[in-house]
Structure 1
Amino acid sequence: MNPAAHEIVIIDDEVKPAQVLAEYLQRDGFRTAHILDGNSAVAYVRQYAPSVLILDVMLPGLDGIEVCRAVRRFSMVPIIMLTARVDEADRIQGLDIGADDYLCKPVSPREVVARVRAQVRRAAGPMSRDQYTFGFVVEEAAQRIWWQGKVLPLSQVEYRIFKTLLSQPGRIFEREALLNAKDCVGRAVNDRSVDSHIKNIRKKIKPYTGDTEFIFSVYGVGYRFGDF
């Protein structure tokens, strides 16, 4: 593990404790950023994709619980929550909405650094090649796509086409690009059948995702994932 390759974001409106924690992380070789409020934190994570979040529960604007919930809509970045609340119900709530770890204040900076190292190692493990996009998880090793803990019933060609769309949200993929999606070459896929496969993908994911549209047609060009 190369700590310098990882940015750790501390989200806490208390400046002094955040500075102390940043110093310990920097001594361990990590890069750090400090954000004071929840709204800015969500925007930062979306733009810069840091390696780990250290997230205080009590924040101005969006609190830590809401930040965690918002981040989990588009990212599986490891989140370590810090709080002065000691109730078991609070800890369970944080873990249930997607936090990876939960520490009660006061906490030793050395322990936080150790927890950060553990999260970085875990993210670098066998699951690190999985892709996370707006709630969809692409499990490359098994060639399947998950939605909220359930495997989507896609064929292999549908998997590869949908994986290609998920790889770059907002990008318009021409039909030819989808035809040439990795490992689709040589299979029974042609320009017109791409439309049929897209139709089937939409039909198959709808029972899981509801009425939310994820795949959009671009007239005369192709398709894109996400309405950006």
Structure 2
Amino acid sequence: MSRILLVQEGHDAALALLDELQRAGHDVEPVEDGAAALHRMLTSPPELTLLGIDLPQIDGLRILETARNSSDQPIIVLTARRQEADLLRGFELGADDYVCTPYSPREVAARIRTVLRRRAQQLRAANRPVPIAIGNPPGTVVLEGQALPLTRREFLLLRALSREPGRVCSRSELLEAAFPYALETNERTVDVHIKNLRKKLTVVSPAHRWIRSIYGVGFVWDAPASADH
């Protein structure tokens, strides 16, 4: 059972979701006010927060940004905003997932299971030696004991991705990390370099897919959850 904070304005809108999560065995605390939600997230962090965007007093994106400055607690955004810019903004601020209304309560429950499982994997990975080492001289990378022959751009991309396993990095974020002074480079250039980087990772470690694509958003470094290194 997980303790979940459900932050959504309107009791009727949250009722079906609340019932579904309680049936799944979660301990759910509903909150309709943005200020109250932020206070709970900072003073008594739940295991996961379902965060609406259009809230009284404090906008959900401001809550997300503020919470991320002090905690890496899982946060799933619930919103009616469907524009790509809104989705990207949510992920850039640190959302673990983004669900648009109208949604199925069972779908949200499934997404919660996925996010909590990924969070557990990250915590287990944090307690094991990291299978990738970025050393000296700059650009030297060793994966599972083998050196990776990377270009400078590939090295910068891998460093940006592997710093925070499980966190989604947008294309614009990776573009800034790997091409900080290239004024005419577009985000699709990132895809080309990621493709080449994946090939080199596969040669060294063919049993695991290290870089996952998040459709329409970017990429995430997916460290193994169960392998011992």
TM range (shorter): 0.5 to 0.7
Per the TM alignment, residue 33 of structure 1 is displaced from its structure 2 partner at its CA by: 0.4
Report the CA distance between 1:129 and its aligned residue: 5.0
Give the direction of change, closer, same or farther, for the CA distance of 1:39–1:142 in structure 2 (3 Å limit). farther
Q: Which residue of 2 aligns with 1:176?
A: none
Q: State the shift of 1:88 in Å.
A: 0.5
Whether 1:141 and 2:128 are equivalent positions in the alignment is yes
Deviation at 1:47, TM superposition (A): 2.1
Ranked by relative contact order (alpha carbons within 8 Å, sequence separation 6 or more), the top structure is: 2
Which of 94, 102, 111 is the aligned partner of 2:107?
A: 111
| CA deviation profile, 1:100-144 (whole Å, cap 9, x unmatched) | 10011100111000001111111111x2158xxxxxxxx553499
**Unaligned stretches of 5+ residues in structure 1:** 131-138, 152-228
- Inter-CA distance 150–104: structure 2 relative to 1 (3 Å threshold): closer
Write the mapping of 1:155-166 to structure 2, written as runs, cut at 5 A. none
In 2, the alpha carbon distance for the partners of 1:149 and 1:117 equals 24
User: Using the alignment, how far apart are the partners of 1:60 and 1:141 within structure 2?
Assistant: 42
1:128 and 2:123 matched = yes
| Residue 22 of structure 2 is aligned to residue 26 of structure 1 | yes
Partner of residue 75, structure 1: 71
Q: Deviations over 1:13-53 (max 9, x none)?
A: 11112121111001011110011111111110122221111
Equivalent residues in 2 for 1:75-94 (5 A)?
75-94=71-90
Aligned counterparts of 2:15 and 2:84: Cα–Cα separation in 1 = 28
1-structure distance, mates of 2:82, 2:42: 30
Runs of 4+ in structure 1 off by over 2 angstroms are 139-144, 148-151
Q: CA deviation at 1:80?
A: 0.7
Q: What is the rounded CA distance, in whole Å, between the counterparts of 1:84 and 1:101 in structure 2?
A: 14
Instruction: Give 1:16's aligned residue.
Output: 12
Q: Pick from 33, 44, 47 the counterpart of residue 43 of structure 2.
A: 47
- Which has the greater radius of gyration? 1
Report SS of the residue matched to 2:82: coil
Deviation at 1:150, TM superposition (A): 9.4
Shift of 1:65: 0.4
Paired with 1:110 and 1:150, the residues of 2 have a C-alpha distance of 32
Aligned to 1:36: 32
Gaps of 5+ in 2: 134-159, 164-229
Q: When the two structures are superposed, what TM-score results if normalisation uses the length of structure 1? A: 0.55
1:177-205 deviation per Cα after TM superposition (whole angstroms, max 9, x unaligned): xxxxxxxxxxxxxxxxxxxxxxxxxxxxx
Match of 2:58, SS? Answer: coil
- State TM-score, norm by structure 2: 0.55
SS at match of 2:94: coil
How many residues of Structure 1 are paired with residues of Structure 2 in the alignment?
135
DSSP 3-state at the match of 1:124: helix
Query: In structure 1, what is the Cα distance between the partners aligned to 2:39 and 2:111?
Result: 24
Q: Deviations over 1:65-115 (max 9, x none)?
A: 001001101111111101111111000000000001001110011100000
Q: How many angstroms apart in 2 are the aligned matches of 1:45 and 1:26?
A: 20
CA root-mean-square deviation: 2.1
| Equivalent of 1:65 in 61, 68, 72 | 61
CA distance in 2, matches of 1:74, 1:116: 21
